[in-house]
């Protein structure tokens, strides 16, 4: 009986490992080709329209430092969520981002601890070291394709949610 139980446990472990290879995390979030969890991030505008972005979650310092550098393109419904920001889980603080090694214009959406948008750095210049600043303490950042915020009517004060 012990051998059978061991085999059953080994089979369960093997299935769990194989499931991990299908691109899912332990929490069943899909995983991007870059090894980050992918979650829907919803931006609800003042007029009540909800816009959903399939966002990679840059949750640790290494992922946040890499960000979207070297990515050839970002789909219109894609994004990258830097959460928590800062990655050490400390209290919200002012942030500045730059676009070095990032070949695509991005809208950088700075999010307060209450989930509202503080500011948006629209169409940040590709490959630039110029700082794009939050202007106040923030708890998360969402990067989306450059020009999408204006196209969708996303503005300061709108609400951003994710799981």
Query: Which pLDDT score, from 0 to 100, does residue 27 have?
Result: 63
Query: Which pLDDT score, from 0 to 100, does residue 65 have?
Result: 93
Other C-beta atoms lying within 10 Å of the C-beta of residue 89: 8
> For the chain, which residues make up each domain, given as ranges?
1-28, 32-162
Beta-bridged to residue 141, according to DSSP, are: 82, 110
**CATH no. of 32-162:** 2.60.120.1140
Per-residue pLDDT of the chain (163 residues; tens, 9 = 90+): 333 333 333 333 333 333 333 344 446 789 999 999 999 999 999 999 999 999 999 999 999 999 999 998 899 999 999 999 999 889 999 999 999 999 999 999 999 999 999 999 999 999 999 999 999 999 999 999 999 999 999 999 999 999 9
Please tell me what DSSP assigns to residue 48. Answer: S
Instruction: With H, G, I as helix, E, B as strand and everything else as coil, classify residue 13.
Output: helix
Question: CB of 54 within 8 A of CB of 62?
Answer: no
Query: Which pLDDT score, from 0 to 100, does residue 17 have?
Result: 35
Please tell me what DSSP assigns to residue 125. Answer: P
Question: CB of 40 within 8 A of CB of 55?
Answer: yes
For residue 3 the two structure tokens come to 């051998």
pTM given for the model: 0.82
- Give the integer Cα–Cα distance in Å for 161 and 116: 9
């Amino acid at each position: 009986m012990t051998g059978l139980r061991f085999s059953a446990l080994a089979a369960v472990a093997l299935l769990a490992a194989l499931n991990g290879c299908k691109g899912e995390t332990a929490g069943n979030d899909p995983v991007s080709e870059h090894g980050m969890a992918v979650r829907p991030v919803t931006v609800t505008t003042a007029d009540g329209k909800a816009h959903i972005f399939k966002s990679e979650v840059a949750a640790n310092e290494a992922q946040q430092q890499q960000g979207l550098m070297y990515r050839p393109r970002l789909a219109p419904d894609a994004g990258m969520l830097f959460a928590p920001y800062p990655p050490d889980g400390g209290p919200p603080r002012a942030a500045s981002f730059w676009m070095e090694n990032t070949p695509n214009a991005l809208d950088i959406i700075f999010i307060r601890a209450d989930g509202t948008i503080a500011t948006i750095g629209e169409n940040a210049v590709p490959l630039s070291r110029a700082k794009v600043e939050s202007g106040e303490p923030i708890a998360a950042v969402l990067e989306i394709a450059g020009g999408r915020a204006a196209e969708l009517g996303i503005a300061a004060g709108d609400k951003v949610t994710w799981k």
